[in-house]
Structure 1
């Protein structure tokens, strides 16, 4: 176990940043309170060096900017496990854009691991077992003070990553896959936070919403907007007001209502039962549904789906390409998605006059350079042998 330090002030952060300058690689992770807050925040940033672990209490430090230069310094390798979420959170809250990244989850995937969670990866490659309590995984990291168990949990996410990086890199080099992972990790540098879809249209994305009639969709929209406002005021996730499944069930049951009479609507809601409608919000839901009855029906925008594989020959070509990918992934013990993007295979199958550009263009945004180097010749032979 490394020496651990809880950083709770700007002075302590400045001292930690000064120490980081002595290292060419650090491990990093974050903990956030998204399960408990409407406006999610990063609550901890854990940074480990070869011999120390710093747990930075971001809620106690108004200015986190001293970390910016180190995190964007290409001469300092940032080792993270499953980085996508952390990168988006750090960009959202602080504008931090990490450069020079090694994601140990990606590294493990390129060694053939199909379930590369941190616990299993540490066990496989370092024979290290860490305790991952579900209670702590889902705990409210915004609460203070932090328990010793919480600090232990947070530290364990980074303390072994530097050693893990070394072992993964050694094995990747043995398989000549280190450059593959390097390119994948370079792409992580482009990840940025994206704002969520506006509530005015986000309700259309709820699972089960396609079951609703236009009247039911208008009810869902009004309830969705009400829930979002309520959650914002209470600063809790919307699902803690009413779950998505509950919203859909309410609208399925109530969408047959044509009257705006509260007595009629309350009767329908009563039939749905308290198991679906939270009692605390019964009146709010009632009033919202009354208003929704008089609002225009909502019609889901039509999605034009072109049957791109109506051509039997194109369909056969795609099956051939997918089979090639499946066979190649089996030989390399890799997930098929790592071999070649399926969207690219679809374009090759359809656009027979442009396939050569698809498999050789280094500017192709979906196909990696390493994939083109490793597999384009095989793909070319496969295509030529089956289009003559």
Structure 2
């Protein structure tokens, strides 16, 4: 595994291929309060690129271009949050997308464990450490442990996606999964607009 650290933006000319795994690190999980600090990406080749963003300007044209590129599929785990953070702070809509958490819920109906740690253990045989999940991602310098943690969240998403695609096809749920992925940027936009509750639910929280 090689972790390449980038200050502010991805380097010019970097080609991560037609499918790129993406995750982000923030100062918390509340939209509008907690800033986006780090975005990590992988082409599925065993290497990871970790970008510490320049706040509050977020001047990262290469990263923004990639996130909005219609020819590159962005693979997330719980993409709803990451996509909302990218739109809020970078000002671009992320499409097209794939979410391994949604795919897991549709394919792995025999369990209620759909967190990345559980999915990675079963489908990729990888035991992920979450020790750095709650560390200070806004720090002036990121530690080696933080960089390795950030990388681990994207290094295996391609392999997980491959296994989930097989399961979705086997269960006849690939089409409905794709419809969910297509809607995901809109779901993130609803979150940004303050509609965190399920707008399709019968009951409604004012």
Cα deviation digits, residues 261-307 of structure 1 (max 9, x gap): xxxxxxxxxxxxxxxxxxxxxxxxxxxxxxxxxxxxxxxxxxxxxxx
3-state secondary structure, aligned to 1:137: coil
Query: Of 10, 14, 17, which aligns to 2:11?
Result: 14
Contact kept in structure 2, 1:103 and 1:185, CA below 8 Å: yes
Quick check: 1:40 aligned with 2:34?
yes
Question: Runs of 5+ in structure 1 lacking a partner?
Answer: 198-336, 347-388
User: Highest Rg: 1 or 2?
Assistant: 1
Give the superposition deviation at 1:19.
2.0
Quick check: 1:95 aligned with 2:94?
no
Contact kept in structure 2, 1:35 and 1:140, CA below 8 Å: no
Q: Which has the higher strand share?
A: 2
Quick check: 1:31 aligned with 2:50?
no
User: Aligned equivalents of 1:9 and 1:68: distance in 2?
Assistant: 11
How many residues matched? 193
3-state secondary structure, aligned to 1:29: strand
3-state secondary structure, aligned to 1:187: helix
Q: Which has the higher helix share?
A: 1
Question: Runs of 5+ in structure 2 lacking a partner?
Answer: none
Cα deviation digits, residues 307-361 of structure 1 (max 9, x gap): xxxxxxxxxxxxxxxxxxxxxxxxxxxxxx9xxx663xx9xxxxxxxxxxxxxxx
Residues 180 and 8 of structure 1: CA distance in aligned 2, closer, same or farther (over 3 Å)? same
Residues 6 and 172 of structure 1: CA distance in aligned 2, closer, same or farther (over 3 Å)? same
Aligned to 2:184: 188
Residues 9 and 106 of structure 1: CA distance in aligned 2, closer, same or farther (over 3 Å)? closer
Cα deviation digits, residues 135-191 of structure 1 (max 9, x gap): x22222101211111111111111100111111101111111111110011001222
Give the superposition deviation at 1:29.
0.5
User: Aligned equivalents of 2:134 and 2:14: distance in 1?
Assistant: 32
Contact kept in structure 2, 1:79 and 1:102, CA below 8 Å: yes
Cα deviation digits, residues 176-230 of structure 1 (max 9, x gap): 1111110011001222262669xxxxxxxxxxxxxxxxxxxxxxxxxxxxxxxxx
User: Aligned equivalents of 1:145 and 1:35: distance in 2?
Assistant: 21
Please list every run of at least 4 consecutive aligned residues from structure 1 whose deviation after the TM superposition is greater than 4 angstroms: none
Query: Of 44, 48, 52, which aligns to 1:53?
Result: 48
Aligned to 1:4: 3
Greater RCO structure (CA 8 Å; 6+ sep) = 2
Contact kept in structure 2, 1:35 and 1:138, CA below 8 Å: no
Contact kept in structure 1, 2:8 and 2:60, CA below 8 Å: no
Aligned to 1:332: none
Aligned to 1:147: 143
Query: What TM-score comes out, normalization by structure 1 length?
Result: 0.46
3-state secondary structure, aligned to 1:138: coil
User: Aligned equivalents of 1:180 and 1:167: distance in 2?
Assistant: 17
3-state secondary structure, aligned to 1:30: strand
Query: What TM-score comes out, normalization by structure 2 length?
Result: 0.84
What is the Cα-based RMSD across aligned positions, in Å? Answer: 2.5
Contact kept in structure 2, 1:33 and 1:40, CA below 8 Å: yes
Match runs of 1:191-206 below 5 Å: 191-192=188-189, 194=192
User: Aligned equivalents of 1:77 and 1:69: distance in 2?
Assistant: 13
Residues 139 and 182 of structure 1: CA distance in aligned 2, closer, same or farther (over 3 Å)? same
